[in-house]
Amino acid sequence: MQKEIIVIIGGPGTGKTTIIEGLLAQGYCCYPEVSREVTMEAKKQGIEQLFLENPLLFSELLLEGRKKQFQNACEETENIVFLDRGIPDVLAYMHYIGDSYPAHFEACCIENKYSKIFILPPWEEIYVGDDERYENYEQAKLIYNHLMETYQKYDYDLIEVPKGSLPERISFILDNVNQSVSN
């Protein structure tokens, strides 16, 4: 069976982490979002919002973390691995803030290809800000558009996960994964 490395993307506050936690609770191999770790590490060093203060350094750290996640996912014994965000997310956020980035960012997107991408649409009813999330709902919608454009640029077919209860969303994802695994 071919290894399936599946990414769940979407703007801030769309339920990615909740879905990853739900998949983890069902016994699936899942990797958490890297940016919270990078943000918390920077806070320990006295930098309140690294993404806002030094977007390129923040993005470099994210890129390294996501590349490492991809490599680790490739080495997993499990055939299906879910990731909370992927490498192209880094570029989408750089596009969102209007910053440029080195050529190796694009090379990483080309070299590390995922099996399937699920995208969660903006959903105002569940959107909640927190200590690591500085974007408001309007900004979250813009980020969603940048994510779509960036992933499509790298030839991914995006599968939009419908709004619904957590079990419904997880079922939708698993039905799509199992469908492709059995084909």
Q: What are the pLDDT digits (tens) for 162-182?
A: 999 999 999 999 999 987 666
Which residue(s) pair with 29 in the sheet? 81
CATH of the domain at 75: 3.40.50.300
Phi-psi category of residue 13: left, alpha or beta, with phi > 0 → left and psi -120 to 50 → alpha: left
pTM of the model: 0.90
pLDDT digit string, tens, across residues 77-133: 999 999 999 999 999 999 998 888 899 999 999 999 999 999 999 877 775 665 555
**Residue 145: which domain range?**
4-182
- The number of distinct structural domains making up the chain is 1
